[in-house]
């Protein structure tokens, strides 16, 4: 159990670092996108900001799932019903079909993966709301045309 908690903690920290870097990239990119679309209609500006934000977040989550899948493959965590990436994806999103369960002695890794995924998905929701708030503030400062 201690091994699983330690490895889960380390992998969670790696994923937190990935998410932090991508958050910074989103903040910088959204400021550039907002500046580049300053003369466009509000709809185009918001759509551009959201497309950028959601695309980066989707890629980020796939990378983070790949970190877990890489560990699953490295440590031989396999199931008969799912490959390592599919199993990591299922755990990360806390979907849990219940049909894929790792071998005895490694069952704590799934819930640790799920907790990590839920935290990072929540973080992503906060980023989305912040980008929308930023867009609203920028739109509100423009005089009506």
pLDDT tens digits, one per residue of 21-76: 999 999 998 888 877 877 777 888 888 889 999 999 999 999 999 999 999 999 88
pLDDT digits (tens, 9 = 90+) for 86-96: 999 999 998 87
Q: Read off the CATH number of the domain in which 15 is found.
A: 1.10.287
Q: Rounded distance, CA 69 to CA 131, Å?
A: 30
Report the chain's mean pLDDT, rounded to a whole number. 87
Q: What is the residue range of 19's domain? A: 2-141
pLDDT of residue 40: 78
Q: Answer whether residue 145 shows pLDDT above 60.
A: no
pLDDT of residue 68: 96
Q: Rounded distance, CA 58 to CA 136, Å?
A: 23
Which pLDDT band holds residue 77 (cuts at 50, 70, 90)?
A: confident
Report how many domains make up the chain. 1
Helix (H, G, I), strand (E, B) or coil at 95: coil
Q: Which residues of 62-101 are buried (b: 16+ CB within 10 A; e: fewer)?
A: eebbbbbbebbeeeebbbeebebbebbbbbbeeeeeeebb
Burial class (CB in 10 A: 0-12, 13-18, 19+), 30: buried
pLDDT of residue 39: 78
Contact (CB, 8 A) for 45 and 34: yes
Angle at 28 between CA 43 and CA 23, to 5 degrees: 95
pLDDT of residue 132: 87
Backbone angle region of 105, left / alpha / beta, with phi > 0 → left and psi within -120 to 50 → alpha? left
Q: Rounded distance, CA 117 to CA 145, Å?
A: 44
Q: Answer whether residue 110 shows pLDDT above 90.
A: no
């Amino acid at each position: 159990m201690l091994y699983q908690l330690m490895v889960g903690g380390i992998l969670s920290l790696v994923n937190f670092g990935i998410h932090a870097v991508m958050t910074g990239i989103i903040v910088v990119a959204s400021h550039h996108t907002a500046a580049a679309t300053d003369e466009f209609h509000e709809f185009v500006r918001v759509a551009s900001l959201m497309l950028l934000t959601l695309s980066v977040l989707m890629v980020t989550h796939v990378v983070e799932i790949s970190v877990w899948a890489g560990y699953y493959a490295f440590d031989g965590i396999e199931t008969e019903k799912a490959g390592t990436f599919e199993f990591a994806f299922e755990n990360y999103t806390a979907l849990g079909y219940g049909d894929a369960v790792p071998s005895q002695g490694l069952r704590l890794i799934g819930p640790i993966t799920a907790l990590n995924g839920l935290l990072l998905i929540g973080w992503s929701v906060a980023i989305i709301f912040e980008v929308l708030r930023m867009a609203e503030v920028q739109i509100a400062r423009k005089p009506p045309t």
